[in-house]
Amino acid sequence: MALIEQVLKYSPNGVPDRLFLKCILTGNYTAGGDPLNLNPTAFQDPNGIGILGYPDTVPQIDPAVFSQVFTGAYALYQAQVVQGATLGTYKLQIQSGGVELAAGAYPAGLLNQYVIIEVVWN
């Protein structure tokens, strides 16, 4: 898997519930998009933010890129979330100039950059 998903913030008491994930690009990119597993067991939680009460159903509003930190020569790259049928089958797609990144190793300059995904449940 080419993404490391870390919990940045989880607001389970709001309406709607909101989760922010930091996705770090690593390894190789997969054609069609890297797997983006939204199952709670897939997340790293290094700051102990916690995901108690986390929903186990597909969000009613599609998860979206909240922020992308692509800088320098990679500032024109874009990230987008591709909808999955289950929490474990979403994808994060990377494009440059409207063209999807080719399958294979990520460009070295993208490996120290990241994408923040917002997941919203009603």
pLDDT in tens, 19-46: 888 888 888 999 999 988 887 777 777 6
Provide the 8-state DSSP code for 99.
E
Question: What is the rounded distance in angstroms from the CA atom of residue 59 to the CA atom of residue 51?
Answer: 15
Question: Percentage of residues in the chain with pLDDT exceeding 90?
Answer: 19
Is the separation of the CB atoms in 116 and 79 below 8 Å?
no
Query: For residues 25 and 27, what is the distance between their CA atoms, to the nearest angstrom?
Result: 7
Q: Taking 50 as the threshold, does the pLDDT of residue 81 lie above it?
A: yes
The torsion defined by the Cα of 99, 81, 34 and 114, in degrees rounded to 10, comes to 90
Half-sphere exposure of 61 (CA within 13 A, CB side): 13
CA atoms within 13 A on the CB side of 114: 12
